[in-house]
Chain A
């Protein structure tokens, strides 16, 4: 993935960042319990998309009602396509493909 794509993602996060978003993500609250009720909408599903449109449709299922994510959706789609192409062309492997990173958890 080239730097431009990284920069676009960073630009988006910087522009849309807010204290409330941060608070929501880090669950910065004083609730009496930290459990979250599950919706169980995605326990099992098909994952065989072939085109950008099909992937876009899958992302819509998760992000359709989130305007901030909708804003970055196109960039994400392009990045996914470009990254795959780059991997194919350069046969580039990630740093941790062969050896588990020593002190970093793999997310």
Chain B
């Protein structure tokens, strides 16, 4: 039985295909269209999923959309009503999308699928947070788990708590729009001059530079938090429910001593302190939510599963793990809306159709390597047809890669199936030597063309993560943050380098904080990916070869793209990204390409104009 899950029309459209409950393929639309966070009907992702199994639409038993338009309409109309005469902007800015597209999602999808919605020509819709919950529970390695979902907003819900057991999920309680932890976080992202959604991750990365001096103000003025983790926002500070921008700028400006930071302007200590404060408040709320969930629904349950955009806050996830409220946690790697496509399909199969669920003791996510793959022959054909120079290797390729890493070369690594979810996990990654003190700023400024303060994540061999990090659990999806092992930390006092007058972050990132400085953030934290041979043998061998050569089992892993560009999907995109940046080496399956050997690279248009800064 084939089920196709689809997320679309909000942000991060995606498609996922399951067969008899097994995840076969999943991908975000942005990777094909090259438009970051693409929200359109994911026609390319759908085609990819069907091609992966060589099936036609007639062979798909169910097509499922991850959100219920009727409930979204209900929430919208109630929002309009609650604003009375002040509802004009909300109506003006939202009606067309909702009434002409979201309400017609079955027709939009029918058109995209060639005139038929699967074998029975019927569309199923799952509730938004059910989709998130299902994406977290069903692929997890647990027979029973408490489920927590937190995001911006679904139809009504913004946070839900429930329980998953065998093939069933029941969400018990929720916090409702307009009160939303995700929207509050995005509001602060906006106030600090970053973009909503795409800037949330940067905002989290900025937090360790600041001091949480605004915590009390935020808790007193902006969010009222109950002991059970439930919360309510003071809506006088927000404008999103009126159909305007995220915040009431004048009220925010009064509270935080000045107007919103303009995008791309200098980041000051104020923004760093706001980031640190919001992060601390978010963590406090999430920990209270988890404690309440444990007390209310999980006294006999050791496992917690998480999804929803806020579950990508890996710093908070690391805190949940360290607090040991639950013995084990598992987070859906595509925790945002893209993952809703997978959750919708899985919920239909297991819960709705009541099919038996067999739990995989590692998990059923397949490392999240669920996207398109290109064989070595495909890659050679592409390179040959363009007269690009490459060197082909067998098993020796891993030694060659390690040599280049040791020589401080920056390498684009392209092999196997593309990752599903926002993180590159070794198959579409840029890798480099984690021991280099200058690599963080080099990668940020010369390769990724992004803000200098942003940290890089380490990939570490699974068998030796304890040698490098304090984390007590595997972290295959780069969704947990913990400290670099204390024995590796070097004395570093951020306060000495950062004052009201002196807040240039570039010199700071060049000061070593450990013996793996390029992946050690200013608070000694790291966003860890543990790499297992069983999950990704190729990538494991790369790091293993580096370890054999240098004694270090950790490398830098950052996504294979430049700022504003979706992660590369095809060999062509990988080659273009390689040539546009100061990357030194490109590895594609068994082929190695060196920049200096390549023919002159000319493009008809400036790629910088193609990708809007995120």
- Interface residues of chain A, those whose CB is within 8 Å of chain B, are 1, 5-6, 9-10, 12-14, 16-17, 21-22, 24-27, 32-38, 40, 42-49, 55, 58-59, 61-63, 68-69, 72, 76, 79-80, 83-84, 86-87, 92, 94, 96-107
Contacts and interface: CB of A to CB of B under 8 A. Distances in A.
Interface in B343-372: 347-348, 351-352
B70 A94 contact: no
B347 A44 contact: yes
Contacts of B99: 1, 76, 79-80, 83-84
Contact of A14 (B85, B96, B105): B85
6 A-B pairs with the lowest CB-CB distances in the bound complex, closest first: A17-B84, A25-B82, A34-B230, A83-B100, A83-B99, A35-B173
Contacts of A21: 81-82
A1 B91 CA distance: 11
A98 B35 contact: yes
A27 B84 contact: no
B65 interface: yes
B325 interface: no
Contact of A105 (B35, B36, B81, B196): B196
Nearest to B176: A36
Interface in B56-81: 64-65, 68-74, 76-81
A53 to B, nearest CB: 15
Nearest to B95: A1
B70 A107 contact: no
Nearest to B175: A34
A106 B126 contact: no
Contacts of A32: 226
B548 interface: no
Contact of A106 (B10, B64, B157): B10
A37 B80 CA distance: 24
A37 B162 CA distance: 11
B607 interface: no
Contacts of B240: 104-105, 107
14 contacts: A9-B91, A13-B85, A24-B82, A36-B176, A37-B172, A47-B124, A48-B122, A61-B70, A72-B77, A76-B99, A80-B99, A97-B40, A98-B40, A104-B196
Contact of A25 (B37, B81, B125, B161): B81
Interface in B192-229: 195-198, 226, 228
Contacts of A49: 106
B69 to A, nearest CB: 7
Interface in B502-549: none
A87 to B, nearest CB: 4
Contact of B173 (A38, A72, A97, A102): A38
Contact of A16 (B81, B121, B126, B348): B81
Given A34-B226, A80-B99, A22 B124 contact: no
Contact of A38 (B10, B172, B195, B612): B172
Nearest to B93: A104
